Amino acid sequence: MPNEISVNLLKPHPKNTDYYSDLEPEKYEEIKRSIKAHGIRDPLKVKPDYTILAGHQRYRIALELGLQEVPITVMDVSDEEAEYLMIADNEERRQSDNDPMKKARRAAFLKKYWGVKQGPKFPQNEENKTAKDIADAVGINTKNLNRLLKLNDLIPEIQALVSSGELGTTAAHELAHLSPETQKSLLESYGKKITEIKAAEAKELRRQIEEEIKTKNNTVLEKQLSEKEEALREVSRELEEVRQALADMEEDNKKGHEIVNKLLDELNEKDSVIEELNNDTRRQNLLEDIAKLEKEKNHLVMEIEYLNQQAGEAKQKKSLADPVVNLANRTLNPLLEFKGKLEIMLNEIEEDPYNSINMCFTRHLRVLESIRDVMRQAQERFAKRKAEKKEKADEIAL
């Protein structure tokens, strides 16, 4: 059972007047008499918020007759499906509505809703809808469907003239190919006289305007092309300048590398000179050390010769100087040993002065010091013995 609600809760669908006109007065009055006598037997279809989907004319009649409540059937659907149900239901009931613009709007909605040319968005009875289905739904021939759909490109002011019948659909179709700005300018120029334009005149007017636009566009394109060519030439010039700058930079870089390499060569030469100078300095230091060692050697040789001389004298006085001889022998043996080591050291220095001088000198320095201590002790004892012998000799002479 359909529900009944207060007629004051109902509200017309906002797009109803875009798709349909009111019924002809005669048909409207016929339905009104039937409702007055029998009431509304066919419920209005509404959304949950009581927006009317089907039954706008019955709603008007109920208001005029002062009915308090009307029967409804609630359709819980999306906005897009609600709009489709409104068109589908009314197409069955109001096939007499032949307003070209309203018919063009209904055809455009069905094309979008059914996804014609893009595939069916909502399959109906599991069949894909086509342009023929759209044409059949709005009551026109399929070959005229594109001409009808083109009327939707008219500006609202010219659409109103088409809806009122003041401007024919054929002429309107020609004007629909013009841009909205051109249509507006044309309407401002012609005013109401635009309704007097015949189809052939509209076609010629369209041709002239499109030719003017084409010429204007060509002029604009030529100007833009000229500007782009000039910009391209400018870019080419700038590119050439950049290339030249890069070439100059590359040349400068090459020269810079040459200068750096030259400086490196000079630096290497200076390093070689410095190395040679350092080697000369080390050689000179070594020669000085060798001279010092040679001097020490000569000094030691002189001391050894002196000791040998003393030893000879001591041997002649052996009976009187045995202790002195023994002391000289003890002193002479280390000196002779040191002499051999010193000669070995000097030979090593002569063979490899750079690596041997410090090692040899350090190794024998301690030996030299100990020998010098022994020589000092021997000299002291020899002097003491000599003094004692002299005293004894003096005593014997007395």
Taken in order of first residue, the domains within the chain and their CATH numbers are 1-97 (3.90.1530.10), 296-397 (no CATH)
pLDDT at 195 over 70: yes
- Per-residue model confidence as pLDDT tens digits over 208-220: 887 877 777 667 7
In this prediction, residue 121 has a pLDDT band, given cuts at 50, 70 and 90, of very low
- Per-residue model confidence as pLDDT tens digits over 48-77: 999 999 999 999 999 999 999 999 999 999
Q: What is the mean pLDDT of residues 257-264?
A: 79
Q: What number of H helices and E strands is found in the chain? A: 13, 4
Q: How far apart are CA 207 and CA 337, in angstroms?
A: 134
Amino acid identity of 191?
A: G
Question: Residue 340 is encoded by which pair of tokens?
Answer: 């051999």
Task: Write the burial class of residue 85 (CB in 10 Å: 0-12 exposed, 13-18 middle, 19+ buried).
Answer: middle
The pLDDT of residue 120 is 42
Amino acid identity of 169?
A: T
Question: Residue 369 is encoded by which pair of tokens?
Answer: 């010091």
Residue-averaged pLDDT of the chain: 80
What is the crossing angle of helices 79-93 and 131-138, to 10°?
50
The pLDDT of residue 344 is 72
Which is nearest to 381 in space by CA: 309, 296, 307?
Answer: 307
- Per-residue model confidence as pLDDT tens digits over 346-395: 676 666 555 555 555 555 566 667 667 767 777 787 788 778 877 877 77
**Phi and psi torsions of 119, nearest 5°:** 95, 155
Q: What is the DSSP string of 379-397?
A: HHHHHHHHHHHHHHHHHHH
- Per-residue model confidence as pLDDT tens digits over 85-118: 999 887 655 556 789 999 999 999 999 999 997 4
Fill in the DSSP letter of residue 197.
Answer: -
Edge-first strand order for the sheet with 69-74 is 3-6, 69-74, 44-46, 52-54
Q: What is the mean pLDDT of residues 234-240?
A: 79
- Per residue, the 3-state secondary structure of 206-246, as one string, reads HHHHHHHHHHHHHHHHHHHHHHHHHHHHHHHHHHHHHHHHH
Please answer whether residues 283 and 351 qualify as being in contact, where contact means their C-beta atoms are separated by less than 8 angstroms: no
pLDDT at 319 over 70: no
Between 95-99, 124-128, 237-241, 250-254, the lowest mean confidence (pLDDT) is in 124-128
pLDDT at 232 over 80: no
Q: What is the mean pLDDT of residues 131-158?
A: 93
pTM for the structure as a whole: 0.53
Question: Residue 243 is encoded by which pair of tokens?
Answer: 């290339």
**Phi and psi torsions of 127, nearest 5°:** -120, 145
Q: How far apart are CA 307 and CA 117, in angstroms?
A: 135
